[in-house]
Amino acid sequence: MSEADVVKDIAVVLARVRQGSESIIERGSHAVAVIKPQATGRMISDVIADLEARGSEAIINDDFAHDIEEGLKAQRQLWNLPSWE
C-alpha cells in the first residue's frame, strides 16, 4: 500500500488492523513501515501470581530477569523486509 493510499483512507487501514491484518506501507518499491495490531500478552505480575497459585517452585532470579530483558530487546529489533525488486 502506498503512502498516498494510507493518507487517503486511513480508516480502511485501521479497520484492517483491527481485524488482525498487517499493512505494509511503501514509498516507490521500498517498504517504509508496517502497521499491525498491537500484540497482547500477560503482565509478568499475572504470570507470577499464576505460578504461586499453582504451587510452582520456580525461582525468579537475576538470570531470569536477564532472559526477559534479552527477549524484550529482540522484539524491539527492526524487521528487515524482503526486497520486492
Please tell me whether residues 1 and 32 are part of one structural domain.
Answer: yes
Is 70 exceeded by the pLDDT of residue 40?
yes
CATH number of the domain enclosing 12: 3.40.1620
Give 15-26 pLDDT, tens digit per residue. 999 898 999 999
Confirm whether 82 is domain-assigned: no
Q: How far apart are CA 42 and CA 48, in angstroms?
A: 10
> In terms of residue numbers, what domain contains 72?
41-77
Confirm whether 84 is domain-assigned: no
- The answer to whether the CB of 5 falls within 8 A of the CB of 14 is no
Please tell me whether residues 26 and 53 are part of one structural domain.
Answer: no
Average pLDDT value for residue range 41-57: 85
Average pLDDT value for residue range 37-48: 81
Please tell me whether residues 47 and 70 are part of one structural domain.
Answer: yes
pLDDT, position 79: 67
> What pTM did the predictor assign?
0.45
Q: How do strand 30-35 and strand 23-27 relate by DSSP bridges?
A: antiparallel
